[in-house]
Amino acid sequence: MNVKKFKMKSEKLKILLLFLITPLFALNVSVTILPQKYVVKAIGGDKVKINVMVPEGSSPATYSPNFKQLKEVKNSEIYFSIGVPFDKKYLNKVKEVNPSIETVDFGKWIKKQNNNPHIWLSPALLMLEAKTVLNTLIKKDFKNKDFYIKNYLHYIGVLSRLEQKGFSIGQKSFITFHPSFFYFAKDFMLEEIAIQKEGKSPSFAYLAKIIKQAKQHNVKTVIISPEFPTKYAKIVAQKINAKVVVISPLQNPLNTIKELIKALQ
């Protein structure tokens, strides 16, 4: 066999192997924010193709979808919303673009407090969200039920171990600008002191109140997020001599929770 024929056969074999390992059928799923993608992927694995509407680095409060994303939505069979401002503004548009799409609330079994949508940063609530994803995927793709259940059980195990680590947190209070970590704090009986009030930047009087409260509660950590202004949080940190930690709430929830636990030990 000459070298040319051998190379041709090798290429054909590669194509055949690629065909065999690539799923013949994948559910097209759209989600609003990046953290949801990681939850859906954890359960769906290679059986799902996921379109994220609000890309990394963008705010769910201000982002507008582009033509390519609306095209992806048109091809999607499932849309997982989560209650952020983007959903309130564009969910009807999603249904208009794709009338047959099944829209599912990620937090359908969760009672939100103070209209706070950041339900993906609590291990306990993530377990409920994972169950919603599991039920939805099984409903759409019953033949892969066992695959989804296996992945779901593994994910619950990961969350359970993470939850146990969370109860070892030493600090009882922390400061942040936006109340992104409210449900995380609630899970572990911590106090989140948010500088932002009702979506607005603080007045000097309110900032002074925050500083006084932080000193009374012996706050040692100020968490800032790259998606929000950092000026006020840095001022508070300087006044109370606290360390500043940068943590984004819009990444893989498992990573965010690990970073929060480490920062508050």
Q: State pLDDT tens for residues 7-26.
A: 555 555 554 444 444 455 79
Distances (CA, A) of 50 to 71, 147, 169: 13, 17, 34
> Which residue reads 């074999």 in tokens?
13
Residue 46 has pLDDT above 90, yes or no: yes
Distance CA 129, CA 122 (A): 10
Q: Is 195 within 8 Å of 232 (Cβ atoms)? A: yes
Average pLDDT over residues 156-171: 96
Residue 1 has pLDDT above 70, yes or no: no
Residue 265 has pLDDT above 60, yes or no: yes
Q: What pLDDT score does 132 carry?
A: 98
**21: region left, alpha or beta (phi > 0 left; psi from -120 to 50 alpha):** alpha
Locate all alpha helices (DSSP H) within the chain, ordered by sequence.
3-21, 34-44, 67-74, 85-97, 123-140, 145-166, 182-187, 204-216, 231-240, 253-263
Q: What is the mean pLDDT of the chain?
A: 91
- Token pair listed for 94: 């999603």
Distances (CA, A) of 79 to 8, 69, 72, 146: 43, 12, 11, 22
**Domains delineated in the chain:** 27-165 (3.40.50.1980), 169-263 (3.40.50.1980)
Q: What pLDDT score does 142 carry?
A: 97
Lowest mean pLDDT among 15-24, 156-165, 183-192: 15-24
Q: What pLDDT score does 9 carry?
A: 56
Distances (CA, A) of 10 to 2, 20, 23, 136, 199: 12, 15, 22, 41, 60
Residue 32 has pLDDT above 70, yes or no: yes
Contacts of 237 (CB under 8 A, 6+ apart): 175, 222, 243, 244
Q: What pLDDT score does 19 carry?
A: 43
Q: Is 195 within 8 Å of 224 (Cβ atoms)? A: no
Average pLDDT over residues 240-259: 97
Q: What percentage of residues in the chain have a pLDDT greater than 70?
A: 91
